[in-house]
Chain A
Amino acid sequence: MSWTISARPDAIPATRVEARHLVQALQAGCDIAAARSIALAVGRIHVPLQALATVEKSAGTDDCIFCVGDFSRWDGLGFGLKSGQLIVEGDTGARTAAELVGGTVEIHGNCGAWAGAAMSGGRLIVHGETGDWLGANWPGELRGMTGGEIFVHGRARHHVGVRMRRGTIAVAGPVGEGAGRGMIAGSILLAGFTQGIVGQGMKRGTIVLGPYADCRTSISATGFPEADCFRPHTLGIQLSHAAAAGWKPAGAMLCCRSVRRYLGDRLNHGLGEILVLSDSAEGATAYT
């Protein structure tokens, strides 16, 4: 079965809506009446779902939930999703697809902070922009995302993939400061301009910077002394996979002729790597 939740334009909540249980409640197999009465916390009070949105249920084999409208004040949409699909035609609030386990969450709009935070599987696709802490760890937790994939077609703000342990984050647009800080493993593909230093304190993992990144300001000279120009074979596999998932910059990044590879963060005894792709033939890899 599939559900369609349409945000009511005449009932825009005055404060944040906690919607982290919504998707799981709908997937539990409730009927339309029960779905309409799902209680959502709006500030300190609870209101039924039908007070904020219209709910429709349609028969079918696809386990899909459509959300249409402005959900920018709804936090936790797709939280802990294990299977199926959540498609949002509009903006969402904080913690979208956080702790995602499986399935796909696709946002045709912008996301708030903590999108995909601490996720362990599944796929999050954001066609717009995301807030801070994309795929990062919860405050006080040692690990950020531990699996799955995040593809962002727009920009992302600060602290992308902080302390991520596994999985892939790909951002097509510019990113803010602190991307890949304290990274433990996994991959971050950044096609756009990067603000500040990336990969600070990383232990392992791979950060790939596209031709628009300025490596003079993005890479700590002490933490990442230039190592070599080896182009890993897995880079092509990774970019091909991202291209197959519809992440557009992958094609151009695949065509980049040269790779510079920095290892670090030496200040943290790290074995991570930052791969800087470039169109120029200068420093083109000697390897095939």
Chain B
Amino acid sequence: MITFEGLEENFTFMVAEVERQVRATSSFLDAPSHALYDRIVGRDDYIDNLKTVIENKCYGHFHKDIGPGGLDKALANRVRAIQVMCVNLERVADFCVNVVQQTNYLTDHAFLHGYSYKEMFTEIEACLARLLATFQQADISGALSVCRAEYGLDRMYKVGFDRIMGELRTGKNVQNLITVLFIFRYLERIGDALLNIGEALIFSILGERIKIEQFEALQQTLTKTGFSGGLSSVDFKAIWGTRSGCRIGKVDSRREGQAAKPGVDPLGSIYKEGALKKILDEKAGLELWAATYPGLVADVYGFHEDGDKGSLLVEFLPGCNLDEVLLTAGEDVLQNALFILTQTVQDIWETTRRQEPVPAGFMAQLSARLPEVLQIHPGFSWPEREICGRIAPGTPELLAACAEVEAELPAPFSVLIHGDFNVNNMVYNHQSQRLHYLDVHRSRQQDYVQDVSVFLVSNYRMPVFETQLRQRINWMMAEFLSFARAFAHEARDETIEARMALALARSLFTSTRFELNPAFSRGMCQRAHYLMERVAEHRGRPWQTFRLPEQVLFN
């Protein structure tokens, strides 16, 4: 319960005032009077002021509590929710004033009584009546029912709308019909505000900004897994954001100290929701790995599809992301993590290897991503330049030359690659001495050099410049590169160096779209050009003699 400076009390008043305003509006439509009209319009100012008071307290609270430790997370979420609810409650009150003002345009007030506005008011009033208890008791079902009021109001509005449109076609009572339509429209917009309030309630309870349709997808996915607990027993925690457009959260069905439930993994599971295509790719990737290399990726517990959205409930893999290990673990743990990483990767490459040449297509991938890069960094494609006869090739020339080289340079064999082998797409479990892959929606049979280059560049571009940590990163890159070279040697892959140069050029260049630091991103782009230039000028000589200028990664 929030007790500071009477914020909870102010909020209670706000809800009560808006309820009163809605009731008065409904009464006014039934039986209008000047006194009631004035009261409704007058109360609007009071509600407006109350909203300002509450907002000031909310912002004041955040301002005051900034500092070490800050505001308790759960309390901060409640304050945020109060602020959002308050803004939307005030909007509801405004719409009430709009509704009563519309009645001035009716030539005959009784005309309105032929239309079913009453049921819309019943829905709105029922919803507001639940609001405080839902908030105070953190009742997720109550929050969902507040959200659902919007669906009901939309449906009622549609019925009214269709009827009025039909009647307008007769050409009679046009002014009255349009006025009634406007009143219905304002009531429908109250539904939109109630949906925002419901979503704020969910946020205050779960601490996760989640849209109602996402929540329903989660609910259905959980039901499909055979999870029998009520939604209120689900602890929904956001564990990381993602730039790839999916929302990810961790679902833990246990209460603290409670024993594990059968069916769903006792350590919880991960819920992912996003564009159907992406979720389907992720599911296919997870299933592919489960069939090929059991235990490497999370188990799929459930899948749900709804229009162009999809959701997945997958096993939560305990452990640390490899980037955390790299930056924070002790020396011995890090050494061990690298050992497990290289052992696992080597085993995967050996067991999934198919002895058939495969075109890598690094330059095609780079060209496809170039527009996205140029959108962020317009100056990253430069023309050919010449200094006293010494030509420095431009970006288009290098891309074309390297694409030709690449056509002559297929990988001698393919392996099942991760496809987005970023250092933060792996989980290392020190207890079980296991490594797991995350985000496998791009996994396929390909040149292993792609995974190596993505891994190296994801290390390279970590925004860490402290000397000791940088040395660790450099050590990790050097070790992994030397591991890849040793594998190539064993596998008689004689063109790894040239392909690696192209793959690194591609990763360095395309990763600049995530880098906003001008000097750093320009440096990455220049290094990509440097690598392409070295490859392009080697043409005509045997590719076995090309040596990757690996210093691009180390200084």
A binds B: no
Interface residues of B (CB under 8 A from A): none
